[in-house]
Chain A
């Protein structure tokens, strides 16, 4: 596609349930990031994938959070046993790779609400 896409756009779930958020990066982009955007908190780095290298998971807030990237393309962020504090907008971004400081292209985000 023309840009980074994310699905679903909105997700409402009950506390304790697991959720999966999907990101389709721009074709050919080898680098992919997940961020969390909470109200008034800016963007919080979660995880970074670069090609076939081991992902940088240093931003994941707890072991309830995990992410995969299959075939170097689509990525899924999974949150297990969701808590109310997990409510936020989850943003995915991709870039061409190589130097990390190429422009990141962001998706529209998934708004997660945990009741």
Chain B
């Protein structure tokens, strides 16, 4: 079965600094990849997704992610973090058997 690893449990960045959240997946076929954000007390919201085509995908709130097949990675990036970006971020991989697996999440803290 597919799996997702988010190596960083907690990341702290200063407001205005750049951000990269790591995601590595394991899946034998072409993956369907997602990033979701969960703000405190809120449900999960889709930031972006990759199915095929251009390996650099743009999402909402100024986020982007790049699919690198050779590295089995789908890292999330943002050039300048805002205090409102503090949240939990989840990477997910979808497989052909109707199963979506999520990573354990990375908690982002933004310092003023």
Docked-complex contact A45 and B99, CB < 8 angstroms? yes
Interface size bracket, B side: 20 to 34
B57 to chain A, nearest CB (A): 13
Q: What chain A residues lie within 8 Å of B102 (beta carbons)?
A: 35, 42-45
B49: chain A residues at CB < 8 Å are: 101, 103
Stretch of A14-22, A63-71, A78-86, A106-114 on the interface side: A106-114
Partner of A106, one of B6, B41, B43: B43
Q: Is the CB of A4 within 8 A of B9?
A: no
Interface string of A88-110 (1 = CB under 8 A from B): 00010100000011011111110
Inter-chain CA distance A56–B95, complex, in Å, is 14
A1 at the B interface (CB under 8 A): no
Whole-angstrom CA separation of A33 from B43 in the bound complex:
14
By a CB distance below 8 angstroms, the chain B residues around A93 are 44
